[in-house]
Amino acid sequence: MPKNILRTGRLSKDMSPIVEKFLTSVKDDIKISFYDVLGTQVHNIMLIEEGIVDPQDGSIILAELQKIKEEILAGTIEYDLTYEDIHPLIEDRVINMVGIEIGGKLHSGRSRNDQVVLDIKLKIRDDLIVIAKKLIYLGETLMDLARKNSIVICPLYTHLQRAQIGTFSHYFLAYIEELNRHLSRIWDCLIRVNSNPLGAGAVGGTSIPINRQRTTDLLGFDSIQLNSLDAVSSRDYTLELISIYAIIATFISRIAEDLVIWSSAEFKYITFDDAYSSVSSALPQKKNSDTAELLRAKSSEIIGKAFGVFTMQKSLYSGYNRDFQQIKPQLWDSQEILSENLDILIGILSSMEIHPEIMEQATKEGNLIALDIAEYLVLNNGISFRMAHGIMGEIVQHNPQDLTNSEIIASVAKDKFDLDLAVPQVELEKYNDPVYCLASRKSLGNPSPDQQEYMIELFNRELEDFSRKFKEKAEFFQLCFKKVNDLINDFTKNLP
């Protein structure tokens, strides 16, 4: 039997070696080889059940495919890189083992065009669940930090300038609230990805009476991607997927930037564990936050790959185009980078040392109580916020050490706005206590103790809900694959 039986019909000669190297995607297809065999098995189970392929012949095909799948799982399969892609490689392997009379039936009612979309979608499903699980683990790590630091006083910043008194847990809760949105995006993407393209054929379906609902059920899809042209030519789900990867990468990069700043000698809010630090080749005293810095750089790689995936698709004619081949490595690389970034970030956060005393000291500098006192003047003296803002701003400019001095406040109010303010000194002095400042905050979602407790409970409940949903979906997919294996065993049990 000639190698690559696919080329023996329309073409009269073998492919040029330079063209073989240019066209092949086998290296990238290794990551979907398991799914390619699985999808082929399910397609052939359906062909047998529909009476399209003789049960005996179909069972022989299933048995050979099972051997290939086991080799893939064991890592012992040899990939011939002279093939264009994984699909004819596996088909040829079966044909060479059982002959073209039987093996040549496995591709009936199918095309590489719907086959590759199926493979990609099956892998994306698993990749999304992997990323979701790591995000959930990150969320649990952040939640633990939020609980432990709910009374740790620290500055909150705008423009990298100290702005208001807050708690360190407020940062972690901010990360968790965003993280839950990322999990929501992943869940929504998973639902849209989980529609079955198999049966669309090359572009216009098939006259062979296949059963698309059966392959949908066997593979755990929620629905059928109905229109055959849409099924083989749309890749919007890859745009959505890599956009999500880029958004999460940006999220990780921003946390990494916080960690780099907080660990600097100028801040000293945290110290990286030695296991997540590097050293200078020349400066003996240096301990560098290289892991966090590389999180920023590697996140940029994902953003770049997302740009590449968008530009590959922006001008493609409807139908299958070979350009689609180049999308796969961008997706696989991005998933691997993101997965590693999440592991590193979790390691940094779970091992770093926090310095509460330095953070609290920073809140006593920089006039962070100016807004609290301005709002006190609004609430207790009936003046407009803009007037209170002007009074406190002038005191910060000329007498920053006297923010809680009632005589100074009264003097500035009179000179600036001709206001007669009587502010009890004892009330103002309460604002020298950062805990009092926090307790006075009334808005929903602020860093006061009661709101920290509320957000911890709410965000943790959301995180647990996502954890449950992704766990159930992963278990459902595994159950589907087990049913497929059980069917294969039933079909092949009587073979010699």
- Does residue 494 sit within a domain? no
Q: How far apart are CA 345 and CA 343, in angstroms?
A: 6
Please indicate, yes or no, whether residues 103 and 213 belong to a single structural domain of this protein: no
- Does residue 421 sit within a domain? yes
Please indicate, yes or no, whether residues 382 and 308 belong to a single structural domain of this protein: no
With contact defined as beta carbons under 8 Å apart, do 375 and 423 qualify? no
Q: Of residues 12, 159, 281, 443, which has the active-site annotation?
A: 159
- Does residue 488 sit within a domain? no
Q: Of residues 223, 264, 280, 318, which has the active-site annotation?
A: 280
Please indicate, yes or no, whether residues 119 and 102 belong to a single structural domain of this protein: no
State which H helix or E strand residue 91 sits in.
helix 86-98
The pLDDT assigned to 19 comes to 80
Nearest-10 crossing angle of helices 112-148, 449-492? 150
Q: What is the pLDDT of residues 386-417, one digit of tens each?
A: 999 999 999 999 999 999 999 999 999 999 99
Please indicate, yes or no, whether residues 78 and 100 belong to a single structural domain of this protein: yes
Domains of the chain: total: 3
If you ran DSSP here, which 8-state letter would residue 30 be given?
G
Look at residues 47, 81, 108 and tell me which one is the last residue of a structural domain: 108
Please indicate, yes or no, whether residues 343 and 461 belong to a single structural domain of this protein: yes
Distances (CA, A) of 408 to 41, 256, 420: 83, 43, 12
CATH value at residue 63: 1.10.275.10
With contact defined as beta carbons under 8 Å apart, do 42 and 484 qualify? yes
Confidence of residue 21 (pLDDT cuts 50, 70, 90): confident
Provide the domain limits for residue 209: 113-362+456-478
Kindly state the greatest CA–CA separation across the chain. Answer: 103
For residue 180, pLDDT over 80 is answered with yes
Look at residues 78, 108, 138 and tell me which one is the last residue of a structural domain: 108
User: What does the pLDDT average to over 264-271?
Assistant: 96
Please indicate, yes or no, whether residues 385 and 356 belong to a single structural domain of this protein: no
In angstroms, how far is the first alpha carbon of the chain from the final one?
23
Residue pointed to by tokens 């083992």: 97
Q: How far apart are CA 281 and CA 378, in angstroms?
A: 56
The pLDDT assigned to 54 comes to 96
Is 159 in the active site?
yes
Q: Specify the pTM.
A: 0.93
In 68-193, the DSSP E strands lie at 153-158, 161-167
Question: Which residues have C-beta within 8 Å of that of residue 408, sequence separation ≥ 6?
Answer: 395, 399, 402
Residue, of 84 and 239, whose pLDDT is higher = 239
The pLDDT assigned to 325 comes to 86
The pLDDT assigned to 133 comes to 98
The pLDDT assigned to 477 comes to 98
